[in-house]
Structure 1
Amino acid sequence: MLVLPGASPLDLGVTMQVFSPRDGHPSYDLTPCSLAPGPVPGRDGLGFVVEAGLEAIAEADTVIVPGFRLPQRPPAPAALDALRDAAFRGARMVSICGGAFALAAAGILDGRRATTHWRLAPILARDYPKVHVDGSVLFVDEGQVLTSAGVAAGIDLCLHIIRRDHGVQASNAVARVIVAAPYRSGGQSQYVPRSIPEPLGDVFAATREWALRNLDETLTVSALARHARVSERTFGRRFVEDTGYTPMQWILRARVDLARELLESSDLGVDQVAARVGLGTGANLRLHFQRVLSTTPTEYRRAFRWREPRAS
């Protein structure tokens, strides 16, 4: 984790919390580093002391750049060189909030889709026109390069990384420890300006919870709207604003998500999993797995079957 001068305490804290070693959870070795070992001034009245310099980046499999004060000013050339070298050799490059400006200054985001805090997104797009900036989403996963929006969206991205590395059950376990939502998709809106919103937020949250408890049932927009006690048109419009997905897109992803957890944690067959999550048949489950995850249920289970560590 590259701690730049003016680093955001919350961005650093989020990263440390999510990736801290815990018994029975995925193990990461996180090394904070900076331009040189020693004290680093932070933002919001807090400072930091790191024990590693830029040489740590040369050995990292993943490099995370949290937000920092005045991100429009590029970091020191030595830091940019270290980031470029890491990206060139294939390290996974991650930014939280304004950390995207460091990746952009290093040329790592050129030609890629990326995000940052919605207030900074227009500036990032203006200063780095080669970057395809999407300031409306929580995070963007471009494979080797991942970027997140501001503050709390860093939690979502860090959990997404665990999810990608170790599967949904592992990321959910960490989410429970840090008392965070287990999954918010990258496509969810980070900020939706409204005029006078209808007072539907709590009702919609209750309806989503209800849907998650009944994924094995037939769920339609009509049924969801009826549960929320609004018209189908109002429900569909507000649902997209709140989640970034249409109701049925959200339901489908929730079903795929539950299927992932069952594939990791149970011995149910593919057809049984499909029935349990409301997708009907194994063929249907395979179709949606391929569309959403670009893999098959069998391949996913083989890669991410989570087993409790044996007692020593």
Structure 2
Amino acid sequence: MHTVAILVLDDVVPFDMAAPMQVFDWTRLPDGRPAYRVRLCAETPQVRADCGFALRVDRGLEALAEADTIIVPGRAEGAPPPSEPVLAALRRAAEAGTRIASVCVGAFVLAEAGLLDGLRATTHWVAADLLARDYPRVEVQPDVLYVDNGQILTSAGAAAALDMCLHMIRRDLGSAVAADAARMSVMPLEREGGQAQFIVHEHPPVPRGSTLEPLLDWVEDHLSEEITLAALASRSGMSERTFSRRFREQTGTTPLQWLLRARVRRAQYLLENSDHSVERIAGQAGFGSPTAFRERFRKVVGTTPYAYRTAFRTKTAQA
């Protein structure tokens, strides 16, 4: 039987631990037998959890050597660095060919062990920039639910761990068994889109007190209109070249990219809070056509306008 070891470290996030534990424990073979043996293991017998309670864990790090799959859950912000014995045990498991996966910010433990060097990886979108900064040898992909490198896998937030675990079950045992596990978890076997649809796309930054502030406030109020670089430069009393340089200095991006982000954010708001058609929202947000809107929206948000509305439409708008 395939053994899954969940490595529990101090300040573990309970949901990050419980999600894979339940999915693998619920999985059944076609004849009804359990497909996986799930074990918790830790460096010490008692582990502090993030929500103010402690776990009693019977198995130590030696259980990692006996596992076919190791799952590393995320930990709370401010958790102490993983110890050298933990990192060494993970490295030995990787060298032995054991499949290793992380949930959410558990990716930082794998990165600290060097297991993500030269690989693609993901984590919760809030922590993606920090992972990329602290571990430059890791190719961080913040807009996906999980990344499968074969032996090493990483997932985004805790809910994305369900997607990753179902993916591993399908790899191990086929689609029929994975579909049954998905039904037990009340989850689709595959979700549309990626992590990008859950990222809060704030309004593009308006640098308060800067010379561009009045102009950018005006743009926010006129997104449905055609806005050209020449028009923006003219309103600012600058040449296009000077305006573009000044704009990048004060916002960190180009006028076009700032404008597109503002239009996508306006579209997100309308999809969440109105019953307007996609065609009408495309016009209200200033896109030239519904086709251009759909293409840009999918590129930025990672899903279609329809799927986004289905997932995030407010109760007020539904009423």
Q: TM-score range by the shorter chain?
A: 0.5 to 0.7
Contact conserved, 2:11 with 2:79, CA < 8 A, in 1?
Answer: no
Task: Map 1:1-312 onto structure 2 (within 5 A).
Answer: 1-23=6-28, 24=32, 27-36=35-44, 38-70=45-77, 73-184=80-191, 187=194, 189=196, 190-191=198-199, 193=201, 195-196=265-266, 197-200=268-271, 231-243=290-302
- How many equivalent pairs are there? 224
- What CA distance in whole angstroms lies between the structure 2 residues aligned with 1:108 and 1:71? 22
Q: 1:202 to 1:92 in 2, by over 3 A?
A: farther
Determine helix, strand or coil for the equivalent of 2:71.
strand
The residue aligned with 1:289 is none
The C-alpha deviation readout for 1:50-103, integer Å capped at 9, x for no partner, is 110000001111111000124774201110010000001110010001111111
The C-alpha deviation readout for 1:114-148, integer Å capped at 9, x for no partner, is 11111111111111111111122111111110001
Q: Which amino acid aligns with 2:46?
A: P
Determine helix, strand or coil for the equivalent of 1:147.
strand
Per-residue deviation at 1:46?
3.2
- 5+ residue gaps, structure 1: 208-221, 248-312
- With the length of structure 2 as denominator, give the TM-score of the two structures: 0.63
Q: 1:145 to 1:58 in 2, by over 3 A?
A: same
Q: 1:245 to 1:169 in 2, by over 3 A?
A: farther
- What CA distance in whole angstroms lies between the structure 1 residues aligned with 2:145 and 2:85? 29
Contact conserved, 1:97 with 1:149, CA < 8 A, in 2?
Answer: yes
Contact conserved, 1:67 with 1:98, CA < 8 A, in 2?
Answer: yes
Q: 1:6 to 1:137 in 2, by over 3 A?
A: same
- What CA distance in whole angstroms lies between the structure 2 residues aligned with 1:167 and 1:201? 37
Moved more, 185-194 or 58-67: 185-194
Q: 1:198 to 1:185 in 2, by over 3 A?
A: closer
Task: Indicate the structure (1 or 2) with the bigger Cα radius of gyration.
Answer: 2
- 5+ residue gaps, structure 2: 1-5, 203-264, 283-288, 307-319
- With the length of structure 1 as denominator, give the TM-score of the two structures: 0.64
Determine helix, strand or coil for the equivalent of 2:190.
coil
Q: Which amino acid aligns with 1:32?
A: L
- What CA distance in whole angstroms lies between the structure 2 residues aligned with 1:7 and 1:143? 25
- What CA distance in whole angstroms lies between the structure 2 residues aligned with 1:22 and 1:7? 24
Contact conserved, 1:66 with 1:95, CA < 8 A, in 2?
Answer: yes
- What CA distance in whole angstroms lies between the structure 1 residues aligned with 2:33 and 2:71? 20
- What CA distance in whole angstroms lies between the structure 2 residues aligned with 1:92 and 1:231? 44
The C-alpha deviation readout for 1:264-302, integer Å capped at 9, x for no partner, is xxxxxxxxxxxxxxxxxxxxxxxxxxxxxxxxxxxxxxx
Contact conserved, 1:111 with 1:132, CA < 8 A, in 2?
Answer: yes
Q: Which amino acid aligns with 1:165?
A: D
Q: 1:21 to 1:110 in 2, by over 3 A?
A: same
Contact conserved, 2:271 with 2:305, CA < 8 A, in 1?
Answer: no
The residue aligned with 1:256 is none
Q: 1:71 to 1:145 in 2, by over 3 A?
A: farther
- What CA distance in whole angstroms lies between the structure 1 residues aligned with 2:10 and 2:186? 29
